[in-house]
Structure 1
């Protein structure tokens, strides 16, 4: 599967406006989202499974990889294309043994040391940040900012997405640091027109990438 990290949509049902998560994900894919992550911090295992399984039917139809946040068991159960792990989750080498070589494994990193370690242990991509302050990651006190983001991308050779507070107004400056794409929640899922919001962000990202490249 050829992965396009430009617009990496992370789900959060609390932002949705009179639309189901299934419809929202499909609209965002139609607008250009190239990879979807299911993030369910408060759902029971059964609820998480049901949501992920339903969304996987959509992503498979459009040939877009589905990533499961944290839950290796859910990823394995629904045969998702990948899993995204934090620094406090299962070490990547053990996750790889469980999920296999073909599974996409992403790792959240907040500095160059973490990024280089994740890369050396076989991560397929990195989530870098939080770049800016964000209400969806309340456990992060100090954003790393653009300079630190640029420093990290200069030292790695695998794909990376910027996480935390990225939106239409700052995506251009974020892309100029050398990341492969942007990880998005609220500025797409909280929009009244999810497809259009994704299209507009995709345009900013790809144009910024072209100008940098």
Structure 2
């Protein structure tokens, strides 16, 4: 499955939620227009079972499922790809363990040089952030909107923005050069389907 070039990228909110709730919420977000789902779960009870169900639902909506950090889990369930952070394995390792068509995304924080290097190494998308204060990652270092503007001029793979993004501030990130908006709380703190529709409108403007 190909990585979309534009749209809402949702990241699962798993804290104190049952698998049933997580699946229902992700389904609602997809119904509302989300185009990518990332399975992120810092304290999973049964990651393989949950991720397998999420993959099935994503494919019903023609959206890729990306696994955060865990290349082995991505390989075990046949996920569409993996997202790599600062402490994770290299793109090359992920590519060998998964397959040549796997989607590999990389967190680049506020570092355009890293994004250029990752693009060169074969990343399918690069992510910058956090752009606004975030309850999901309150200690994440801030990124600057100017980084998006510079990235847009030099990066050819899709650019994902993350961090405290809401329907009323996401438009400035899209205007600066983001292609996708990655969201956790803005979608899953409320009614996920309606929230996803609110973000969707930003891409239609």
Q: Same fold (TM over 0.5)?
A: yes
Q: Confirm whether residue 80 of structure 1 aligns to residue 70 of structure 2.
A: no
1:97 aligns with 2:93: no
The match for 1:109 is: 108
Instruction: Please give the secondary structure, in 1, of the residue aligned with 2:105.
Output: strand
Report the count of equivalent residues. 202
Residue 14 of structure 1: SS of its match in structure 2? coil
Alignment root-mean-square deviation, CA: 1.8
Dislocated runs of 4+, deviation >6 Å: none
Map of 1:199 onto structure 2:
197
Specify every segment of 5 or more residues in structure 2 that has no aligned partner in the other structure, as ranges: none
Paired residue for 1:210? Answer: none
Distance 2:105 2:29 in 1: 21
Q: Distance in 1 between matches of 2:16 and 2:8?
A: 18
Relative distance call for 1:135 and 1:15 in structure 2 (3 A) is farther
What secondary structure does 2:15 align onto?
Answer: helix
- Please list the CA deviations of residues 80-106 of structure 1 after superposition, one character each: whole Å capped at 9, or x if unmatched: 001000122001111111111110000
Structure 2: how far apart are the matches of 1:160 and 1:92? Answer: 17
Counterpart Cα distance in 1 of 2:189 and 2:15: 9
Corresponding position of 1:29: 30
Distance verdict in 2 for CA 1:152–1:15, change over 3 Å: farther
* Structure 2 length-normalised TM: 0.92
Q: CA deviation at 1:160?
A: 1.2
Superposition map of 1:117-196 within 5 A? 117-140=117-140, 142-191=141-190, 193-196=191-194
Change over 3 Å in CA distance of 1:189–1:134 after alignment to 2: same
1:51-70 matched pairs, under 5 angstroms: 51-70=50-69
CA shift, 1:33, in A, is: 0.2
* TM superposition score normalised by structure 1: 0.89
Q: Runs of 5+ in structure 1 lacking a partner?
A: 208-213
Q: Deviations over 1:170-197 (max 9, x none)?
A: 0100101111110010011011x21111
Structure 1 residue 51: Cα displacement: 1.4
